[in-house]
Every structure is written in C-alpha cells, then in structure tokens.
A and B are shown apart, each in its own frame.
Chain A
Amino acid sequence: MENLQHNETITQPKKVIEVNQLVKRFGHFTAVDHLSFEVEKGEIFGFLGANGAGKTTAMRMLCGLSKPTEGKGKVAGFDIEHQSEQVKKNIGYMSQKFSLYNDLKVWENIRLFAGIYGMNDNDIKEKTALLLEQLHFEKERNVLVKSLPLGMKQKLAFSVAIFHTPEVVFLDEPTGGVDPTTRRQFWELIYEAAEKGITVFVTTHYMDEAEYCNRVSIMVDGRIEALDSPHNLKTAFEAQNMDEVFQQLARKATRKAD
C-alpha cells in the first residue's frame, strides 16, 4: 500500500483530481474499494485494470454519473457528489464506443457538442476552422461522419471531447480497434492536449500505451494495487515491460471478469 502515499513532487502543483477513500457498493458487492489517488494538472494518467476490476465504475463516479457510497472526490476543484453539474462542465469524455453522431456532418458534430458546453457562436466558428486545419480535415468539413475511416473518427472524437478546453478529459479505451499507426497519431494528439494543460485520464488494454503515460495505476478487484511512473513500476516489479507488471498484478485477482 505504500505506493498509494507516493508523492513525486516536492512543489505542490495544482491537483485536478483528488480522490480519498472512494467506495461504491452495489448491494453486497463492493465494485470500488477505498480508492485514493491524486492527478496533477497536465498529467497523462493511465488507469489500468482487467475487465471487472472496477475501472468503469470509478470513472463513472469521477464524471458525476454515479454517486459514491462512501468517500470524497474532487474533479477540477468540484465535489463529485454535490457539485456534479459543475464537474460536468469542466470535463470532456470519450468512450470506447464511438462517440460522435454518424448521421451528422463533421462540422455539425463539432457545433453540437460545443453548443452543449455553452460556447458562443464566434468562438465555435474560429476554433472549428483552426481544428479542421490542424487535423487536415478541411476537405471533410461537410462530410457525414459515418463515411470517415475509423482512425479519422477517433481523432475527431478526441478533438471534440477537448474542444471546450476542459480541465480533465476522460478517455475510456479510446483506441480500441484502431491500427497501430493511427494509435500513434492518436497519442500525439493526447500529448498535445497535455502540453496545453489538459489533464488526461485514460483507460486502456494496450500495455504499450501504458508506457506513454506519466503515471499509471493498476486496479485489481476494486483496489489500486500499484501506482507510479512506468519506469518505477518496471524497476519495482523487476519487469521488462508494463505487460509483465500487469500480468504479475492481475494474477492476484479473485474476481471474475464481467
């Protein structure tokens, strides 16, 4: 458990996510068991765990979709239990399922989500032009999203999720089913976002992606079993890569995957 108290920096940068003894029970089943961790501004935080380890439940609580049974949590400075409306305004979210509307055009999707987050028309117009230029999507502006290739869709979905410059963006297995080249490009976007100061909270099943994170937590049976930078974790577990670290920890799991 000593990893939980790990504090890498001496100076105190802004904490964007603070979680203290967070618990979620469904009847007698404890899905999330006394979770505590902190994530700093601009950090890329990998949230790993086998299926059924409680990742999704924890993430839903952080996004204000589900109320914790016990414990406290703050996201972007707002209490996740009592200020979920404020939390929602300050986060972005992209799920493993494709999260744009297939029957809307590229610009309409951007327009819709920007509108939902309360951006004004001028800002939307300017930023849309800029975004399409950066992604080299100018030609696809008026194309229905369903006719884009998957990699392009994922990039667009991520860009839409951070379009309103949230404090944190939650990515739930964002690269599922995407080819390695596109995955690399996708991670470049993540790095760019982090450089702009957007904190990235990402779950993934790809262990090579875990290596890209600043810090990684590994959940087993509702608890965080390890939390550190990939480098430190590999040293501590005497492992060649993150996959070996993960295997050693996941083997302890008693819970079945759902």
Chain B
Amino acid sequence: MKQFLTFVKKEFHHIFRDHRTMLILIGMPIVEIILFGFAITTEVKDSKVAILDPSHDVATRHIIDEINANKYFNVVGYVHNSHDIQRVFKKGEASMVVVFEDRFYETLLHTGKAQIQVIADATDPNTATTITYYVNRIISNYQQTLMEKNKAPYQITPNIKLLFNPEMKGAYNFVPGVLGMILMLICAMMTSIAIVREKETGTMEILLVSPIKPIMIILAKMVPYFVISCFNLATVLLLSVYVLGVPVAGSLTGLILVSLLFIVVSLSLGLLVSTLTNTQLAAMLVSGMVFLLPVILLSGMIFPIENMPMWMQRLSDIIPAKWYIQAVKALMIEGLGIMNILKEVGILSLMTLVFTGISLKKFNVRLD
C-alpha cells in the first residue's frame, strides 16, 4: 500500500510539473463550456423578418411597424403566398416569417380572437427561441393596448412553428456533449499517453524489472486522472448551472454516478490504447482519431443520431460516449431519475469489463 501511494505521488508530480498539460487539463473544460455556451447564446440583432399579410388592415400594419421598430428585427420584405415562405428560408433571405390570417382585424373585432403564425428557422435553436419570444412580446403588447382602448377582451394567439429543428435539439444538448468529450479526452488520451511515455523513455522497463506489480503501476497512473476528471466534472456542472443557466432537472446523484462510471470506462479505454501503441504520438493519434472524432461525430453530441442512416446508428452503439451523453441528457435535461438510465449504465459497465479484460491480457502478453 505504501508502495502504491509513493507511486501515486510520483504520477501527480508528473502532471503538476508539466504546466502546459496542467493548464490544458484544467482550463479546457472551462474554455469549452464558455465557448460553446456563448457562441450559441450570442445576442440576437437585426434578425431578418419577412411578412405574409393578406389583410393589410390597421392591426396588422401596427404590429408590423412595431416589429420593424424593434432593434432586434429588420423587416426585409413581404411574401405573397405560403410557397414563398419556403423559398425565403431556403435562400436565407429571412430567419423568421410572420403570417397574419385573412381579414385579421375584422376577425379580431367580431370574434375576439385572431391568429398569427410565427415561423422561425430553428437550425440555430437559441436564436429561434429568442426571436420568437420577442415577437410574442410585441404581439401581447399590442393585445394589451387594444384591450385597454376598446374595453373588450381580445385574444391574439401566436402560433409558433419552428422549421428544420422542431424539437429544438442542440440548445442545451452541448453540455452533455462537452462533458462526454472532455472526460473522454482527459481519461483516455491522457492516461494512454502517460503510460506510453514511460515505455518511450525506458522507465517502464525499470518498473517491470522491479518487484512492483504491473497492475499497481497501471492503477497508480489512473488515480490522478480520475481525480482531475472529477474536478472537471464539478467545474463543468457548476459552470453550466450557474453561468449558462442549464438546470439539472433530474437526479444529481444519478448524474454524478453515471459520470464516475463513464470516467472508469474512459480510463480503461486509455489503458487499452497504451497496450496497443509504443509511442506517445501513436497513442495520441489513436485516441484522437479512433475515439475523439467518433465521439464528436457519432455520439449525438452535434448531429442527432436519429437522423443517421441505419448502419451509422449501429456503429454509434459501440461508442461509450453515446450512452453516456444519452444518460446525461435524460438526467439533466429531460429530468428523469436513475431508474430510467439502467440500460445505459448496464452497457457502460459491460464496456468497462471488456476493455479492462482485453488490456490486462495484452499487458501480460507483452511482458513475456
């Protein structure tokens, strides 16, 4: 045990004395969360709006003027039929179209109810939410003034339609994605590099000749990265809750437990890479190309898995990060409890066993 602790201390020295790596390990999660967060929630200005207004009456003109006067909007033109709406979006001439019904003011006065359809391009979900919200405000303001003037209840219902991304995927989704990516990067890549570095410098040989057990060498290497990953997990969660306002809707305990499990999966993957490669460069390339890229592309972090062709969906099944991100989404965003992620937990546990099994076998073979 004392032997083991001496060894863990040595591993911490390696990490803490390498200031550049240290900076990356601690700084990267913060930078990434902030970058992703604020790149998506930038202030919306001068959004281009097109209008479909068959009524041309007092009410519609008033609302259109209000929209145009708002600093966030810029009315760029009128369309004349629903066919044009598609064209406007496809050509990117507008990011929102406001559609009034026929005889808007008349209907409103007679029935007390009228409808406005707000169609927004939701490829960038945050912008879409923001601008539809602003339009909503403008409409309800108008409704308010109308009611005060005429002393009668009027109800204008804005009917919001989001094109291209109706489920608003991506808004909060990057947080689970970034979590998955960072943990994978730190655990898998850094661990594999740390082990391979000892092979490269020749110190591994000395350790193998010494009485210390290989399993001890490996465990001691993993401890610091485990600690750093836990630290990063805390940073990312705190930043996303307090800076980005992404709530943890479901079970926090569940979230932490599944994250710890994912850290262990990634550590075992890193170990696997280290047994397959002999140079730091190779270890980095393997972790980068074989793990990181698929994590970004196939885990559902950026591109929704449901939209992929079948064979790609099957391929994404073997990526641990997919299951982790799925579980985190369930817990963090959909507000579900631990009982709902048992499948993901099971798959991740199985993966850990398989990876550790293969790498321990490989490690022993290499010794002889």
Which A residues form the contact surface with B (CB < 8 A)?
A: 63-67, 85, 88-89, 91, 93-104, 108, 111-113, 115-118, 144, 170
Q: State whether the Cβ of B310 lies closer than 8 Å to any Cβ in chain A.
A: no
- When the two chains form their complex, are residues B211 and A103 in contact, meaning their CB atoms are under 8 A apart? no
Q: Which residues of B contact A118 (CB under 8 A)?
A: 3, 211
Q: How far is the CA of A102 from the CA of B203 in the complex (A)?
A: 10
Q: Which residues of B contact A63 (CB under 8 A)?
A: 209
Q: Are A64 and B10 also in contact (CB < 8 A) when A99-B203, A103-B17, A115-B2 are?
A: no
Q: Which residues of A contact B28 (CB under 8 A)?
A: none
Q: What is the CB-to-nearest-CB distance from A90 to chain B, in angstroms, rounded to a whole number? A: 9
20 contacts between A and B (CB under 8 A): A65-B208, A66-B368, A67-B368, A88-B211, A94-B206, A96-B202, A98-B202, A99-B203, A99-B205, A101-B203, A103-B14, A103-B17, A104-B13, A108-B10, A108-B13, A115-B3, A116-B6, A116-B211, A116-B212, A144-B17
Interface bits B1-16 vs A (CB < 8 Å: 1, else 0): 0110011001001100
Q: Are A88 and B205 also in contact (CB < 8 A) when A103-B18, A104-B10, A116-B3 are?
A: no
Q: Are A103 and B13 also in contact (CB < 8 A) when A65-B367, A117-B211, A118-B211 are?
A: yes
Q: What is the CB-to-nearest-CB distance from A203 to chain B, in angstroms, rounded to a whole number? A: 14
Q: How far is the CA of A144 from the CA of B10 in the complex (A)?
A: 13
Q: Which residues of A contact B7 (CB under 8 A)?
A: 112, 115-116
Q: Are A97 and B210 also in contact (CB < 8 A) when A65-B367, A103-B13 are?
A: no
Q: Which residues of B contact A97 (CB under 8 A)?
A: 201-202, 205
Q: What is the CB-to-nearest-CB distance from A108 to chain B, in angstroms, rounded to a whole number? A: 7
8 Å CB contact of B10 from A66, A85, A96, A112? A112
Q: Are A85 and B201 also in contact (CB < 8 A) when A65-B367, A115-B3, A118-B3 are?
A: no
Q: Are A117 and B10 also in contact (CB < 8 A) when A97-B201, A101-B203 are?
A: no
Q: Which residues of A contact B210 (CB under 8 A)?
A: 88, 93, 113, 116-117
8 Å CB contact of A93 from B13, B17, B206? B206
State which size class the interface on B falls in.
20 to 34
- When the two chains form their complex, are residues B209 and A88 in contact, meaning their CB atoms are under 8 A apart? yes
| Top 8 A-B residue pairs of the complex, sorted by shortest distance between their CB atoms | A97-B202, A115-B6, A93-B209, A88-B211, A89-B211, A103-B17, A99-B206, A116-B210
Considering only CB atoms, which chain A residue lies closest to B17 in the complex?
Answer: A103
- When the two chains form their complex, are residues A112 and B209 in contact, meaning their CB atoms are under 8 A apart? no
- When the two chains form their complex, are residues A95 and B205 in contact, meaning their CB atoms are under 8 A apart? yes
Q: How far is the CA of A112 from the CA of B13 in the complex (A)?
A: 12
Q: Which residues of A contact B2 (CB under 8 A)?
A: 115
Q: How far is the CA of A98 from the CA of B203 in the complex (A)?
A: 7
Q: What is the CB-to-nearest-CB distance from B212 to chain A, in angstroms, rounded to a whole number? A: 5
Q: What is the CB-to-nearest-CB distance from B188 to chain A, in angstroms, rounded to a whole number? A: 22
Q: Which residues of A contact B207 (CB under 8 A)?
A: 116
Q: How far is the CA of A16 from the CA of B368 in the complex (A)?
A: 23
Considering only CB atoms, which chain B residue lies closest to A114 in the complex?
Answer: B6
Q: How far is the CA of A101 from the CA of B6 in the complex (A)?
A: 14
Q: How far is the CA of A31 from the CA of B2 in the complex (A)?
A: 39
8 Å CB contact of A95 from B17, B18, B206, B367? B206
Considering only CB atoms, which chain A residue lies closest to B200 in the complex?
Answer: A97
Q: How far is the CA of A168 from the CA of B10 in the complex (A)?
A: 26
Q: How far is the CA of A226 from the CA of B201 in the complex (A)?
A: 33
Q: How far is the CA of A118 from the CA of B205 in the complex (A)?
A: 18
